[in-house]
Structure 1
C-alpha cells in the first residue's frame, strides 16, 4: 500500500473536522490542510472516543476466556458464523467487514504522525509542544503494540526476522507500506516509548479530576511495564510498574465501593419472572461518570464487543471463588442468557459485564501494575514477595469476611506461586489481556506456563455453521502461526500487493 486506505482517509477527515472549527473542509492527499497551533493538535488528542475504542474481535473471541459451546448455539444460535470463525482461529473465511480493528489503529497512528511531523512549525509554547511530542509518541507506540500483538507472530528471539508491520513515521501517502521485520517493528515501539517516557504530567489535571483519556506520566510508565512484560524483561517490567504505582496506586475496594446498578432487567421464564442485576459500573455506559472516573485506570482504552455478550468460558468461571470473590459477584451477571432469548427451553448462562453489555476497560490499571510487579518478582525468584504483592490486590477484591487463607494466596514453591499469578490475571482482566498473555507464555524460557487452547464445536464454512453435523476439535498449538491473525484482504488489495499476508 503506497497510501493509506480510503477508509482511513474518511475517518481522519471526520476526526479532524469534529475536533475543532479550525478546519472547514476535509483533508485529502492534495489539500494538505492541517491544524497549525498547539491547541489544535491538543484538540485532536482530546477526541477520546476516537482513541479509546478497540474492536479487536481476535482478542475478544480468540482466547480461552471466551466460551464457545454447542449447547448455547443449539438453544438460540447466539454466535453467528463470524464469531465462530474468530473463536476457532480461522484464517480462511474471516470477512473484512467484521474486522475494523486494523484500520482503526492505523487512524490513531496517522494522527500521532501528523503531530510529530508538524512539531517544527507548530505555534505554541515550548512546554506545550514538548508535551504533544511525547504524547504523540505514546499514542503511536500504544497502537503499534496492539497491532503487533494481533497481526504478527509473538515476541521471541526466534521470530525477530519474521514479518512485522509497515513502519509509518510520517503522514506521507508515498511512504512504503511494505512490512518491516518484527525486530524493526519492536525497535520502533521501544524508540517511541523512550520518547513518551519524557512526558511529565500528572494523572490529575488542573481541575483535580482524572484525565485518563490523555497521556500522563503514570500512564506511560504503566504501558512501559506492559511492554517489557511482553518482552520477558522482568527487571524493567517491575521497574516501570513500581514507577506507575508510586505516582498513582489507588485501588477500588470492592467491599465498600462496589454495588449493584439501580437498573434491573426482568425476563419471563416459564411462569417465573427473573431479575437480571448489573454492577454499578454498568450505569451510563463507557462514557458515563462511573467509567470515566474509574480511579484505577491509567489510560482510557476499552475492548468493544459488537455482539454485546462476553461469554465467559467454563474454565474462566471455575477460577473464581464464587462465594467470596467480589469480581464474580459484581461482574459475572447470572442468567444473562435469558436476555438473549434462551427461555424456551430455558438455559441459564452468565455474561461478563463491566460497562454496558459490550464494553470492558482494556487500558493499564493499578490492579494490572500490581500483577505485573508480582509476576516479575516470582519469575525472578522472589516468589513469596510476589504473592504478597498480589495479595494487596486481593484484599480489595475478596470479601472482607472471608477467611484469611481465602483472601491471601499462598504457595509451597515458585511454580505454584506463578500459577497463582497467572490465574489472578485472568480473574482480574478477563478477555482483554488473555490472548496476549498466552502468546508470551508460549514464547518465554519457562515451559511450565505454556497453553494449548482447544474448542469443541460444529464444523462451518464461509456462510454457515453446520449444527446438524458432529462437533469437531479446533486447536491452537503453542507455536501455531495462527497467533498472527490475518490482515484484511482489502488493505492487501489496495496496497497492490505491497503488504504481504501472513503465511500459515
Structure 2
C-alpha cells in the first residue's frame, strides 16, 4: 500500500505541476518508487479518470445543438470562457486558458505509458490474463487518446498529405522532462494502429466489466479509426468483428419513454443492463451545453419519423420550449454524455462501408435491423435505396440520429468535408449575427493551447 501511495503521489504531482507549466513540460522525480507487481500496474489504470473524457471541443464546434441568445452564451461560459469562443469558431478560442481536452488526454497517455512497464514482469501461468489485460488496456487507452487529440488538433487524415501534415506530440514514455515536437500526422496514425493491433493480438477476459477495455472495444476503436482514414475495407472488417463479439442491442420498445424533467432518463445509471454498451466513457455536461441553455438542432429533430422512439427517448420537451437531450446511456438525465463504444456504432460503420462498396441492399438491411430496435413495434416499413449514393445518405442520417451527442459528430463532419457532395457549412445565428464555418476552413482544426506552444516550441495551427 505504501508503494501504491508513492505511485499516486508521483502521478498527482505530475498532474498538478502541469496546471502551471504545460503538461508536456513537467519534471518528474526519478527517485519515486515505481510499481512492482501486475496488480500495481492494474491499479494505475483503474482510476475513474481513465473512462472520463474532456472533449469539450468535439461537442462545442459541431451542429447538434444551438444557443439562442448572447445572454445564455455568456452566462454559460462564466467558468469556461472558451465555450463561447468555440461556439462561434473565434480566432482566439482559449483566451490564454489551459484546455482540459489537451491536458487530460496527455494525462491518460502518461498513465498508459506507466502501465506498459508491466512488460518488465514475467507473468506466471496464473497471471497471464491479468498481465494481458493490463498491457492491452494501456495500449487501448494510449491509442484512443492519441486518436481524440488528432480529431481536435490535427488536419483530417488524407493519405496524400498525411506525411507532411502536422500531428500531435507522440509521448511514448512517462519521462515528462523530455521535450517532443510535432511529428507527421501519418506517424500519429501509425502509432494508433500499431498500439491497437498489438492489443488485438493479446488474449484477455475483463470479466464483462464495461469500465475496462475488452478485445471488442479495441476492435470498435479500430473500426472507427479506419473509417476516419477512409479505409472502408478494414473498417468493415473490424465492425464485423465487433458485431460477432458484442452485437446485441437494447430494444427501445421495452423502455418506459416517459420522463418528467431534463434530470431524468429512461436508461439506468452507468449503462446498467444495456447489452449494447461495449466500453463505458462519459463526458460531464456543463457550460453552454448545460440543461438551462441546451437546445437540440431543429433540422435534426425534423428528420425523426413519427414512429421513431428515439424522439421520445432522447429528448425532453422543456416548459420553455427547449428540446433537451436526456438520452445518454449514462442515465441520470443531462448529467453525462455517453462517449464510449456500442454495438449500434459498429452497425452504422458496417452499413456505411457496405453503401460505399455498392452493396446497397445489404447496407439498407443493416439500418433496417437497427431500426427494428428503435421504431414503434409493427410500424417499420421495408427500407430500400436506388443507388449507392442514396444508400449512403440514408446511413449518414441514421448515424447522425443514432449517435447524437456522443462526441463523434465533429469528426464525422471533418471526414465528410473531404467529399464535396457530402460537405457541410456550419452556421450559427445569434440575435441577428451570423457565424459561418465553411468546409475545409482552417478552423476545423482547433489551435494548440498557447502554453504548450510557448513551453515546448510547438508549431501552432493556422486560424
2:315 maps to which residue?
A: 332
* Correspondence for 2:298 among 314, 334, 341: 314
Name the CA distance, whole Å, in 2 between partners of 1:122 and 1:213. Answer: 26
2:106 maps to which residue?
A: 106
In the TM superposition, what are the counterparts of 1:129-168 in structure 2 within 5 Å?
Answer: 129-160=131-162, 161-168=164-171
C-alpha displacement at 1:360, in angstroms? 1.5
**CA-to-aligned-CA distance 1:44-88 (integer Å, 9 cap, x gap):** 2222x2111122221112111121333xx4689664464331111
2:59 maps to which residue?
A: 60
User: What SS is found at the alignment partner of 1:278?
Assistant: coil
Asked if structure 2 preserves the Cα contact closer than 8 Å seen for 1:278 and 1:330, the reply is no
| CA distance 1:329–1:176, change in 2 (3 Å) | same
**CA-to-aligned-CA distance 1:324-357 (integer Å, 9 cap, x gap):** 111111110111xx5xxxxxxxx41111122331
C-alpha displacement at 1:29, in angstroms? 2.2
Asked if structure 1 preserves the Cα contact closer than 8 Å seen for 2:44 and 2:115, the reply is no
2:87 maps to which residue?
A: 87
Name the CA distance, whole Å, in 2 between partners of 1:325 and 1:378. Answer: 23
C-alpha displacement at 1:447, in angstroms? 2.8
In the TM superposition, what are the counterparts of 1:177-256 in structure 2 within 5 Å?
Answer: 177-202=180-205, 205=207, 210-256=208-254
Name the CA distance, whole Å, in 2 between partners of 1:239 and 1:258. Answer: 35
User: What SS is found at the alignment partner of 2:264?
Assistant: strand
| CA distance 1:396–1:78, change in 2 (3 Å) | farther
- Indicate yes or no: 2:457 matched with 1:489: no
1:272 maps to which residue?
A: none
2:385 maps to which residue?
A: 411
- Indicate yes or no: 2:278 matched with 1:280: no
1:302 maps to which residue?
A: 282
C-alpha displacement at 1:387, in angstroms? 0.8
Name the CA distance, whole Å, in 1 between partners of 2:118 and 2:91. Answer: 39
1:369 maps to which residue?
A: 346
C-alpha displacement at 1:201, in angstroms? 3.2
Name the CA distance, whole Å, in 2 between partners of 1:13 and 1:33. Answer: 17
1:454 maps to which residue?
A: 427
Name the CA distance, whole Å, in 1 between partners of 2:242 and 2:434. Answer: 42
**CA-to-aligned-CA distance 1:8-56 (integer Å, 9 cap, x gap):** 9537669xxxxxxxxxxxx942333221100111122222x21111222
- Indicate yes or no: 2:372 matched with 1:395: yes
C-alpha displacement at 1:172, in angstroms? 1.4
Where do 5+ consecutive residues of structure 2 fail to align?
1-9, 17-26
User: What SS is found at the alignment partner of 1:391?
Assistant: helix
Asked if structure 1 preserves the Cα contact closer than 8 Å seen for 2:446 and 2:461, the reply is yes
Asked if structure 2 preserves the Cα contact closer than 8 Å seen for 1:60 and 1:305, the reply is no
Name the CA distance, whole Å, in 1 between partners of 2:254 and 2:391. Answer: 28
Name the CA distance, whole Å, in 2 between partners of 1:218 and 1:129. Answer: 18
| CA distance 1:76–1:375, change in 2 (3 Å) | closer
Asked if structure 1 preserves the Cα contact closer than 8 Å seen for 2:277 and 2:342, the reply is yes
| CA distance 1:292–1:111, change in 2 (3 Å) | farther
C-alpha displacement at 1:127, in angstroms? 4.1
- Indicate yes or no: 2:418 matched with 1:439: no
| CA distance 1:258–1:78, change in 2 (3 Å) | farther
Where do 5+ consecutive residues of structure 1 fail to align?
1-7, 15-26, 266-275, 339-346, 459-470
Superposed CA RMSD: 2.5
How many residues are matched? 430
Name the CA distance, whole Å, in 2 between partners of 1:103 and 1:379. Answer: 37
1:430 maps to which residue?
A: 404
**CA-to-aligned-CA distance 1:103-132 (integer Å, 9 cap, x gap):** 111111001111223422466634433332
Query: Scaled by the length of structure 2, what TM-score is found?
Result: 0.86
Asked if structure 2 preserves the Cα contact closer than 8 Å seen for 1:64 and 1:453, the reply is yes
Name the CA distance, whole Å, in 2 between partners of 1:174 and 1:75. Answer: 42
| CA distance 1:76–1:229, change in 2 (3 Å) | closer
Asked if structure 2 preserves the Cα contact closer than 8 Å seen for 1:108 and 1:139, the reply is yes
